[in-house]
Amino acid sequence: MKVSDTSDLWWKSAVIYCLDVESFMDGDGNGIGDLGGLATRIDYLAELGVTCLWLMPFYPSPDRDDGYDITDFYGVDHRLGHLGDVVEVIRIARDRGIRVIVDLVVNHTSDKHPWFKAARSSRDSPYRDFYVWRDEPPAHQPAPVFPDQETSDWQWDEKAGQYYQHVFYRQQPDLNITDERVRDEIVKVIGFWLELGVSGFRIDAVPFLLQTDGVIDGARKLPDPHAYLRSLRAFLGRRTGDGIFLGEVNLSRERQNEFFDGAEGDELTMQFDFIAMQNLYLSLARGDARPLAEALLSRPEGSPDIQWANFVRNHDELTLDKLTDDERQEVFAAFGPEERMQVYGRGLIRRLPPMLDGDPRRIRMVYSLLFSLPGTPVLFYGEEIGMGENLDAGGRMSVRTPMQWTAGRNGGFSTARPSRLRTPMTEGAFGPEHVNVADQRHDPDSLLQFMTGLIRHYRNARELGWGAFEVIEQPDSAVFAHTLTAGRHRTVAVHNFSPDARTVRLPVGLPDAALAAEPVGEHGIRLVDHFTGVTVPVERGAAEVPLDGYGYRWFRVEG
């Protein structure tokens, strides 16, 4: 599905903000965040500059996997509100210029879902084939996704008298997309939420959704799972014209390109760039920008209608699975040396500020980098104020602690007793008494004010979301310099991964033949700092730019 009208490609220059409704704002004082509370905080998101709100699952759930174990794809968990509250959130957000996308988690259901209850009741149940069953698990299985929790992808069900497949937790039986009725239900779910006003979906674990290896009946296997994904994208396009699929695809570059459908761009609209994220942390650990540069340059070329989603932190563990064993150990040693900070042998359960020891120079450099990279920036709630994690919460919940609004009780998240909070607050140096929205709103030097300004500059520079990317080679491995060019608009960004100051030479001029004839300055080319408006002289096609330790600068190329 080619999109010819570039005005419809709103995601190219979006600022996406992910939040867990249960952890953002408690509107009724019961210790659990809810949609009513979220509605009162949308103006805050608008002030920050957010243009797209991504809601983690709010559907009915036993909550054994933070809402990803769903019992009704068409409903709202009673603890969080009801459908009317969802519509109100979408309406308020739209009035503030913010689109809303929601999680589409259709690779599995909860084992409490009515479909699964019916499926396990009898082999003759019409819902039996909604799931994947075997009399015996296969002799050879992939390693479990959660090796600390599961030893197999198959679970015996006494009532059903068979094993069912579960790629994730045993309480999440896999749906069988080779069954036409399941595929029809997925389309209905998409159509339902589109009718309520969402602008698209973040699709959970896309490769697992399309995997059909566990299904025994080969005649019913999808001959081309990607054709199915293309059909979903076509449906999305027919219903909305500008809706998006933002996919979670943590695979090699070659495999990632398959989910974009190569040059056609007919499958996912956007993908998270897990490879660039992991190499960013390797670059930070080494003080060497080259791993990040190489990861960005390895992105496959594709349709202009697709986009990469860049992130520093997400709602899951900070996975490092695409690094080598030695590289992963480097990152562990630098940012998560204690065993309790690590999970599954491949990831960290920490937020960025504690990993960087609260160093404001380094933290701001990383976020400057995030917003200047080719692609669309995605923030996880609380990043804009520098929230930390609570390791005592355990696992992925360590970074899903309540949002810190004030320095008061429960960080202003809830009026309930602290013991009633679903997840305990972060404590210590990154707790709400030191890190909160209210204080930072009134502090011109706060991270919140910095991030608000950063987002404003990003949104005012069209080339940052749309531009062609080029790395400017540097003799100093600690320096990462790149350009983004869209038509006559061009930005040069430079970042220093070292604690020591640097002077960087940035070639920004005309071709060599023109430079030999006369200085570029005579052509009127100049570099203008995005943040300060200061002009840096350009002589014979290059500018000498001073950088502080962990410094960063963005320049418009004018003239």
Contact 309, 270 (CB under 8 A): yes
Helix, strand or coil, per DSSP, at residue 364: helix
Of the candidates 204, 317, 367, the one whose C-alpha atom is nearest the C-alpha of residue 271 is: 204
Termini Cα distance of the chain: 38
Residues 228-262 pLDDT 10s: 999 999 999 999 999 999 999 999 999 999 999 86
Q: What does pLDDT average to over the chain?
A: 93
pLDDT of residue 476: 97
pLDDT at 511 over 50: no
pLDDT at 208 over 70: yes
Provide the CB-side half-sphere exposure for 117 (13 A, CA): 5
Q: State the burial class of residue 558 (Cβ atoms within 10 Å of its Cβ: 0-12, 13-18, 19+).
A: middle
Contact 94, 46 (CB under 8 A): no
Please, which residues bridge with residue 154 across strands? 165
Which tokens sit at 20?
């867990």
Provide the sign of the torsion angle of the four alpha carbons 165, 171, 177, 182, taken in this order.
Answer: positive
Residues 82-121 pLDDT 10s: 999 999 999 999 999 999 999 999 999 999 999 999 999 9
Helix, strand or coil, per DSSP, at residue 212: coil
CA–CA separation, 49 vs 406, rounded Å?
20
CA–CA separation, 385 vs 367, rounded Å?
12
Residues 57-70 pLDDT 10s: 999 999 999 999 99
pLDDT of residue 263: 66
pLDDT of residue 524: 73
pLDDT at 488 over 70: yes
The arrangement of strands across the sheet holding 552-558 comes to: 468-471, 479-486, 489-496, 552-558, 526-529, 535-536
Task: Check residues 8 and 48 and name the one with the higher pLDDT.
Answer: 48
CA–CA separation, 84 vs 72, rounded Å?
16
The number of residues in the chain equals: 559
Query: Mind telling me the catalytic residues?
Result: 204, 248
CATH architecture of 114-165: Alpha-Beta Complex (3.90)
Mean predicted confidence (pLDDT) in 197-223: 82
Which tokens sit at 440?
């930072």
Spell out the SS3 assignment of 135-187. CCCCCCCCCCCCCCCCCCCEEEECCCCEEEECCCCCCCCEECCCCHHHHHHHH
Contact 502, 478 (CB under 8 A): yes
Residues 303-339 pLDDT 10s: 888 999 999 999 999 999 999 999 999 999 999 999 9
pLDDT at 7 over 80: no
Mean predicted confidence (pLDDT) in 342-358: 96
Alpha helices in 427-511 (DSSP H): 437-441, 447-459, 463-466
pLDDT of residue 559: 78
Helix, strand or coil, per DSSP, at residue 347: strand
Residues 17-38 pLDDT 10s: 999 999 999 999 999 999 999 9
The arrangement of strands across the sheet holding 154-157 comes to: 133-134, 162-165, 154-157
Measured from the Cβ of residue 128, the count of other Cβ atoms closer than 10 Å reads 19
By DSSP bridging, strand 552-558 and strand 489-496 are antiparallel
- 265 phi/psi in degrees, rounded to 5: 65, 35
CA–CA separation, 77 vs 136, rounded Å?
35
pLDDT bucket at 509, cuts 50 / 70 / 90: low
pLDDT at 1 over 50: no
CA–CA separation, 471 vs 41, rounded Å?
39
Domain spans, the chain: 6-106+180-459, 114-165, 467-558
6-106+180-459 and 467-558 agree in CATH topology: no
Task: Check residues 171 and 3 and name the one with the higher pLDDT.
Answer: 171
Q: State the burial class of residue 463 (Cβ atoms within 10 Å of its Cβ: 0-12, 13-18, 19+).
A: buried
Q: How many helices (H) and strands (E) does the chain have?
A: 18, 22
Topology of domain 6-106+180-459, CATH: TIM Barrel (3.20.20)
Topology of domain 467-558, CATH: Immunoglobulin-like (2.60.40)
pLDDT at 216 over 80: no
DSSP label of 301: P
Mean predicted confidence (pLDDT) in 503-530: 65
